């Protein structure tokens, strides 16, 4: 019995020593990472890093966190960020975002993100590279706003990224009650007859990058997409129903080649929206409607557009007819 007591005491003491060492090491690693980013020209500041979580969790709470990458032109400011991991394997990390406003800045402008109960879970491979195995992000009601008002909002968010092999990842995303805000509705001059929220918004894709996602993605360069298989992107918004699928390969400049399949039910609603917003002139609207109507009739249903576009030579084409320049698919 006495031997059992001593074994229990020794195991408890060893665990306490391990937890204290790991907890101090976790906070020191975060502080060192911030210092390294600052030395590289970033703005990387926090007013404090607290610990906790004993006995089964390692926790680091960051307050008044500011991160800004001047090369990418991206910045984030939040009042609080909580990082926690299992004490027996720090590679399973949970990041809890502050429920208060989070300031975001990018080349597109400044905005504010508010999310209820936002939690991001990271599963990392063993090793110093911290290679991503899986990511899950869930949140309740969220709202993205700028100086003009709400841009978009939704009732929830579900996002998963799973490594399938090497630098290939499967992406799933879904948002319920997704709605353009008043700022967008005014900009596009949407009629009151257009429903305020999408009935559904879903995406499923497989993306292969030029390298795996790991700690280098923050320290050095972002992995760049080289192949995208868009299994399904689906949106339902009142009478308008859109389905997209694609199979694309990108070169080192991010220029895509491949095919993009589009299926649109009640496609005239898209033209109505583009014309009402001033993005499409009346003359061009008539010309576009004539072309799309011919394509829809060729697919067998005049109310449903079912067409496959090709991408190559820097252009989006319908058959051999160039329609638009191809976008460059690069992550900054």
Token look-up 């030029």 returns 210
What is the rounded average pLDDT of the residues 292-317? 81
Q: What is the pLDDT at residue 70?
A: 87
Per the omega criterion (within 30 degrees of 0), is the bond before 162 cis?
Answer: no
Q: What is the pLDDT at residue 209?
A: 97
pLDDT band at 247 (very low <50, low <70, confident <90, very high): very high
Share above pLDDT 70 across residues of the chain, in percent, rounded to a whole number: 96
Residue of 44, 12, 43 lying closest to 30 (CA atoms)? 44
Residue of 248, 264, 266, 244 lying closest to 256 (CA atoms)? 248
* pLDDT at residue 314 greater than cutoff 90: no
What is the rounded average pLDDT of the residues 217-238? 89
* pLDDT at residue 282 greater than cutoff 80: no
* pLDDT at residue 12 greater than cutoff 80: no
State the Cα–Cα distance between residues 170 and 231, nearest whole angstrom: 10
Q: What is the pLDDT of residues 77-93, one digit of tens each?
A: 999 999 998 888 777 89
pLDDT band at 277 (very low <50, low <70, confident <90, very high): low
Q: What is the pLDDT at residue 238?
A: 80
* pLDDT at residue 1 greater than cutoff 70: no
Q: What is the pLDDT at residue 15?
A: 80
Confidence (pTM): 0.85
Which CA distances in Å does 305 have to 75, 105, 173? Answer: 40, 37, 25
Tell which wins on pLDDT, 191 or 286.
Answer: 286
* pLDDT at residue 279 greater than cutoff 70: no
pLDDT band at 200 (very low <50, low <70, confident <90, very high): confident
What is the rounded average pLDDT of the residues 234-259? 91
DSSP assignment of 69-108, as one string?
ETTTTEEEEEEEEEEEEETTEEEEEEEEE-SS-EEEEETT
Q: What are phi and psi of 53, to 5 degrees?
A: 100, 0
Pinpoint the alpha helices (H) of 189-259.
Answer: 216-219
What is the rounded average pLDDT of the residues 153-163? 95
DSSP secondary structure code for residue 47 in this structure: S
Provide the mean pLDDT of the chain.
87
Contact by Cβ (8 Å): 174, 154:
no
Contact by Cβ (8 Å): 35, 42:
no
- Secondary structure (3-state) at 21: helix
Contact by Cβ (8 Å): 26, 60:
yes
> Which helix H or strand E contains 49, and what residues bound it?
strand 48-52
243's tokens: 């389905």
Contact by Cβ (8 Å): 53, 62:
no
What is the rounded average pLDDT of the residues 185-194? 74
β-strands 321-325, 315-318 pairing: antiparallel
> Which helix H or strand E contains 29, and what residues bound it?
helix 2-39
Which CA distances in Å does 174 have to 66, 138, 156, 229? Answer: 28, 10, 8, 17
Q: What is the pLDDT of residues 91-129, one digit of tens each?
A: 789 999 988 899 999 888 899 999 999 999 999 988 777
- Secondary structure (3-state) at 240: strand
């Amino acid at each position: 019995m006495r031997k059992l007591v001593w074994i229990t005491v020794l195991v408890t003491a060893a665990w306490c020593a391990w937890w204290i060492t790991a907890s101090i090491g976790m906070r020191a690693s975060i502080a060192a990472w911030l210092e390294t980013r600052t030395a590289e020209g970033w703005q990387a500041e926090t007013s404090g890093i607290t610990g906790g979580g004993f006995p089964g969790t390692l926790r680091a709470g960051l307050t008044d966190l500011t991160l800004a990458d001047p090369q990418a032109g991206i910045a984030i400011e939040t009042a609080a960020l909580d990082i926690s991991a299992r004490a027996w394997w720090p590679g399973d990390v949970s990041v809890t975002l502050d429920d208060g406003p989070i300031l975001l800045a990018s080349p597109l402008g400044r905005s504010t993100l508010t999310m209820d109960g936002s939690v991001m879970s990271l599963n990392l491979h063993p090793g110093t590279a911290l290679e991503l195995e899986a990511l899950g992000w869930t949140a309740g009601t969220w709202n993205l706003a700028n100086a003009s008002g709400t841009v978009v909002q939704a009732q929830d968010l579900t996002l998963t990224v799973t490594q399938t092999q090497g630098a290939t990842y499967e992406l799933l995303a879904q948002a319920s009650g997704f709605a353009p805000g008043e700022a967008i509705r005014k900009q596009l001059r949407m009629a009151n007859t257009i429903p305020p929220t999408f009935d559904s918004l879903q995406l499923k894709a497989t993306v292969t990058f030029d390298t795996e996602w790991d700690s280098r993605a923050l320290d050095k360069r972002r992995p760049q997409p080289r192949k995208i298989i868009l299994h399904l992107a689906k949106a339902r918004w009142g009478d308008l129903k859109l389905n997209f699928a694609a199979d694309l390969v990108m070169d080192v400049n991010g220029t895509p080649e491949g095919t993009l399949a589009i299926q649109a039910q009640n496609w005239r609603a898209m033209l109505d929206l583009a014309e009402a917003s001033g993005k499409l002139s009346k003359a061009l609207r008539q010309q576009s409607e004539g072309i799309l109507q011919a394509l829809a009739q060729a697919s067998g249903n005049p109310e449903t557009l079912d067409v496959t576009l090709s991408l190559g030579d820097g252009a989006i084409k319908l058959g051999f007819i160039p329609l638009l320049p191809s976008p460059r698919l690069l992550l900054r």
